Amino acid sequence: MDEQTKEMHFDALIIGAGFSGLYQLHRLRDHVGLNAAILEQGSGVGGTWYWNRYPGARCDSESQGYCYFFSKKLHQEWQWSERYPGHSEIRRYLNFVADRLNLRTEIFFGTKVCRCTFLTQQNVWHVETEKNKSFYAKWLITGVGCLSSTNVPNIKGLSSFEGNWYHTGQWPRGGVNFKGQRIGQIGTGSTGIQAAPVIAKECKHLTVFQRTANYSIPARNDSWDDDYTQWVRNHFKELKSLVQSTPSGHPFRISSNLTMEVSENERQSIFNDAWLKGGLRFRGVFSDLLTSSKANQQASEFIKSKIQRKISNPETAKILTEIDHPYAAKRPPIDTNYFETFNRDNVALVDLKADPISEIFAKGIRLRSGVEHELDKIVFATGFDAMTGPLIKLNVVGPNGNLKNYWRDGPINYLGLSIPGFPNLFTITGPGSPSVLSNMPVSIEQHVDWITKCIQYCTDKKIDLIEAGEDAAQDWTIHVRETANATLLPKVKHSWYLGANIPGKPRVFMPYAGGLVTYRQICNTIEKKGYSGFKLLKSTGATNIKKIDLQKLRSFALGI
Ligand code: NAP
């Protein structure tokens, strides 16, 4: 691409070169015939996996389901090496896809978007980049992921720390040397649980600072042999149909059994089998683990007792299992030797519930009690300003104002795909869609296919503008909240699903908890009805957006 040109015009611009952006570019360029391009901040493809290179970074979805299913040819050519793909292997996979589909020619790397403004006179999006370049396009599609806006907590004194510190979501490309060093890790979510065992093996001493104890199921990762690869290749059709027919998009079925309808012995045996199989499958052994407190308690107690048995020091075991939320109401981690890591001589656990961090000082971390932990490096495994964060950061301005203002009380949109007052903008895996509650590539393919069809429809019918209608968006937003309220998912204090991990962020359950199958049906019906709920216009000029009844929405806000 001509890197010198300051202004470039396209039919469609896509932001982000991860799973979403790559497939969207392929569909719009190669199937609709649009002049489309991707703007990507990093210097390579990968999206989430371009940035998340921390020790132990690995996907929790199983490899046979963590891939594209739109092309049998691609599927047959690729070979995963393990049950769960590691971060570098996922980057290799996405590079392989970009090469096979010849996508690189339409990707602007090193291009960070800093503002997107809809120009009402021309009906185009003006996208400005950090390097003062301007791109224009009729269609703007975000593929920025749900977990790309990192959260470094505002802890007093960080700038005075004499060592280096890192956030796991922006890990240096060349890696970090921990050899002979004293490391402090803050955070014990899915990331921290993956990182700690690997860091512990490399460093002189690791101190894990835990605010909230977490469940974790053993991942039981293993390598794939050629026979299994062949089996996966031979079962392309079945695997595709499986991931598209389960509510989570994972390549396993959710049992229809109810937890309390089986005998105590049978229940324990089912939990135990799932524990031995490992991974996210544990969530699916009964259908009511996320809807019945009683059922959930059975699973929670089982997991806690298993964890306790792994840890030799009873005090450490107590701190690691004083878990304050139902199992899987926060995104459930899976691990490789996480709890066993605390049996190592070079690992210590700090209970921040009992003694919170008061500040970071030149030599390390000081707790409220005055206890000091001297450290050479600090690792922040402290998560993300999830889902809305990456979109708001783009500084998107529609005819009626900035998205940040429009979403100040939480995300309002239709299907997680389209926002009133932001014409011709589509948000792949946006808040209000199943996204993070599902196996992402499967959700991404569904969104990209839907958006592509919609753009094809508008092109065929010569429609200038399409955007979510306010009534449809309001109803959808309420439906998303009601659906979550029917589960245990909102019953958590600090969950990024609720935005509760970010100070000042509205506490609203963001993903759609109704399941991918139901969601797909809803999207298909709306498409078949000629995009019911959307405003389709052939005119130009600002669309007047009706005010959403925020009072009504707030009554569905979640509290515990
Ligand atoms: P997270 O789940 O939000 O966990 C952040 C951790 O940092 C929590 O333990 C949190 O404690 C702690 N924390 C945050 N601010 C803190 C503060 N000021 N002081 C002390 N502790 C603080 O973030 P994550 O682990 O990065 O995971 C985010 C999501 O990324 C996952 O849920 C998952 O969806 C995805 N992910 C996926 C994979 C995979 O597929 N392999 C791997 C990693 C991550 P509290 O719990 O008390 O807030």
Atom 38, ligand 1: residue with shortest CA distance: 59
Closest Cα to atom 32 of ligand 1: 331
Ligand 1 binding pocket includes 58 (Cβ within 6 Å): yes
Q: Which atom of ligand 1 is nearest to the CA of 500?
A: 48
CA distance 232 to 222: 15
Indicate whether residue 360 lines ligand 1 (CB < 6 A): no
Within 13 Å and on the Cβ side, how many CA atoms surround 358?
Answer: 11
Read off the pLDDT band of 395 (50, 70, 90): very high
User: Is ligand 1 within 6 A of the CB of residue 429?
Assistant: no
Residue 425 Cα to ligand 1 middle (Å): 29
Residue position matching structure tokens 């980057």: 91
* Amino acid (one-letter) located at 341: T
Q: Indicate which residue's Cα is closest to atom 39 of ligand 1.
A: 59
pLDDT of residue 550: 52
Quote the pLDDT of residue 81.
Answer: 97
Q: Could you give the angle at which helices 516-528 and 440-460 cross, rounded to 10 degrees? A: 0
Percentage of residues of the chain with pLDDT beyond 70: 95
Q: Which amino acid is at 476?
A: W
Closest C-alpha residue for ligand 1 atom 34 = 331
Q: Which atom of ligand 1 is nearest to the CA of 212?
A: 47
What is the tens place of the pLDDT at every residue in 228-267?
999 999 999 999 999 999 999 999 999 999 999 999 999 9
Place of tokens 């015939």: 33
Confidence of residue 557 (pLDDT cuts 50, 70, 90): very low
| Ligand 1 neighbour 187 (Cβ under 6 A) | yes
Select from 84, 91, 191, 210 the residue to mutate for testing ligand 1; criterion: most ligand atoms less than 8 Å from CB.
191
**132 CA distance to ligand 1 centroid (A)?**
34
Residue nearest to atom 2 of ligand 1 (CA): 189
Contact 397, 118 (CB under 8 A): yes
Rounded-to-integer distance, Cα 430 and Cα 309, Å:
40
Tokens 């592509």, residue located: 452
**pLDDT beyond 80 at 206:** yes
Residue 81: partners with Cβ closer than 8 Å, 6 or more residues away? 89, 223, 224
477-510 per-residue burial string, b: 16 or more CB within 10 A, e: under 16 = bbbbbebbeebbbbbbeebbbbbbbbeebbebbb
- Ligand 1: atom nearest CA of 211 is 47
Mean pLDDT rounded to a whole number for the chain: 95
Is pLDDT of 555 > 90? no
Ligand 1: does its nearest atom lie under 6 Å from the Cβ of 358? no
* Measured distance CA(491)–CA(136) in Å, rounded: 43
Q: Is the distance from the beta carbon of residue 63 to the nearest atom of ligand 1 less than 6 Å? A: no
> What are the residues whose beta carbons fall under 8 Å from the beta carbon of 338, sequence distance 6 or more?
193, 194, 196, 197, 216
Q: Which of 43, 20, 193 is nearest to 108 (CA)?
A: 43
Q: Which atom of ligand 1 is nearest to the CA of 192?
A: 25
Cβ–ligand 1 contact at 337 (below 6 Å)? no
- What's residue 459's pLDDT? 96
